[in-house]
């Protein structure tokens, strides 16, 4: 159950949210959404962003889908360097045809735990530049009720929570089948002729599904994974790992552009 009226404390740190607080009709009566043509500046430093299992397919077309930590949290890898997103600019712009994870699209709304009453409550990031008393789309109407926009945002958060729970079940299944293994993404430096130069460089270490373990599953278990939809998501994850090369190339291009700009600036001086 979720609620928009609470004075309880919320717990947990949430990526991108500076000052999350429970949505309240008295405190936030005058708040409204600020319409921006490029609204995603808050995610420009998001190197890895949480995904739900239903997003593996579309996300795999853009970036690697990996699993991290003891909980094997699914993440969309959107950059290689700390606090760098190769697909979202500092001005909030997004590279064309890039999938934007639901985790980003739900911002500045989020569901959080209410420690006092053991429930989920609707929160907003009060520090978000997308919310202001000078905004265009009010969060509450004149009667103090959530506007249609706010109701849609709450439903999106509720749907996201359902998908998150489905994702937890998916991860639990993969753990039960012992399908995870530690993987490495590597980059092979090349000389001017395209020949290998030096030893491969490790770009990242992460958890992924072992194809060897997957192939050793019984026909009965594979059929079960196929019927419950898990097999398709596993293959989407495996295909997504081809995206490491794209990230490496984009990182190198950005570095060259930065060096060129720095050299040009130095020549001007």
Give the pLDDT band of residue 11 (cuts 50, 70, 90): very low
213-249 pLDDT, tens digit per residue, is: 999 999 999 999 999 999 999 999 999 999 999 999 9
What are the phi and psi torsion angles at 135 (to 5°)?
-70, 175
- CA nearest to 25, candidates 41, 5, 54: 5
pTM: 0.88
Burial grade of 28 (CB within 10 A; 0-12, 13-18, 19 or more): buried
**221 lies in some domain:** yes
The DSSP call for residue 43 is: G
- pLDDT tier for residue 186 given thresholds of 50, 70 and 90: confident
Query: CA-based diameter of the chain, in Å?
Result: 70
Would you say residue 4 lies in a domain? Answer: no
Which residue range(s) make up the domain with 259? 10-188+202-268
Q: What's the number of CA atoms in the CB half-sphere (13 Å) around residue 164?
A: 15
Tens digit of pLDDT for each residue in 79-137?
Answer: 999 999 999 999 999 999 999 999 999 999 999 887 666 688 999 999 999 999 999 99
Helix or strand holding residue 245 (H, E): helix 244-268
| Angle at CA of residue 135, ends 142 and 92, nearest 5° | 145
261 is a domain residue: yes
Domain membership of residue 197 (yes or no) is no
Which pair of tokens denotes residue 106? 């739900």
What does each C-alpha distance from 126 to 35, 37, 38, 67, 225 come to in angstroms?
Answer: 16, 20, 19, 30, 42
What pLDDT score was predicted for residue 5?
A: 46
* pLDDT at res. 6: 43
pLDDT score for 116:
65
Residue 5 belongs to some domain of the structure:
no
User: How far is residue 201's CA from residue 152's CA, in Å, rounded to a whole number?
Assistant: 46
- pLDDT for 13: 64
pLDDT band for position 188 (cuts 50, 70, 90): confident
Mean pLDDT value of segment 164-185: 97
Q: Considering the domain boundaries, does residue 194 fall inside one?
A: no
For residue 2, tell me if it sits in a domain. no
Is there a domain that residue 196 lies in? Answer: no
d(CA 233, CA 249): 26
Calculate mean pLDDT across residues 70-84. 95
What does the alpha-carbon distance between residue 133 and residue 29 come to, in Å, rounded to a whole number? 9
pLDDT for residue 12: 47
Domain total of the chain: 1
pLDDT tens-place string over residues 203-213: 899 999 999 99
């Amino acid at each position: 159950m979720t609620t928009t009226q609470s004075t309880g404390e919320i717990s947990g740190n949430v990526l991108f949210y500076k000052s999350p607080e429970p949505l309240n009709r008295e405190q936030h009566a005058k708040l409204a959404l600020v319409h921006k043509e490029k609204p995603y500046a808050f995610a420009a430093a998001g190197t890895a962003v949480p995904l739900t299992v239903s997003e593996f397919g579309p996300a795999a077309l853009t970036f690697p889908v990996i699993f991290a930590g003891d909980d094997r949290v699914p993440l969309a890898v959107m950059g290689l360097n700390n606090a760098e997103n190769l697909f979202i600019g500092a001005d909030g712009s997004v590279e064309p045809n890039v999938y934007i994870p639901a985790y980003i699209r739900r911002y500045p709304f989020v569901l959080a735990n209410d420690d006092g009453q053991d429930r989920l409550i609707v929160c907003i990031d009060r520090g978000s530049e997308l919310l202001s008393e000078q905004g265009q789309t009010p969060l509450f109407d004149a009667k103090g009720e959530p506007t249609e926009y706010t109701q849609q945002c709450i439903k999106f958060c509720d749907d996201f929570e359902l998908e998150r729970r489905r994702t937890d079940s998916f991860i639990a299944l993969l753990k039960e089948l012992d399908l995870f293994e530690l993987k490495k993404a590597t980059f092979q430096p090349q000389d001017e002729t395209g020949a290998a130069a030096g030893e491969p460089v490790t770009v990242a270490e992460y958890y992924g599904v072992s194809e060897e373990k997957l192939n050793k599953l019984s026909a009965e278990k594979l059929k079960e994974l196929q019927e419950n939809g898990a097999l398709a998501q596993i293959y989407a994850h495996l295909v997504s790992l081809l995206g490491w090369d794209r990230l490496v190339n984009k990182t190198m291009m950005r570095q060259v552009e930065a060096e060129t700009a720095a050299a040009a600036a130095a020549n001007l001086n």
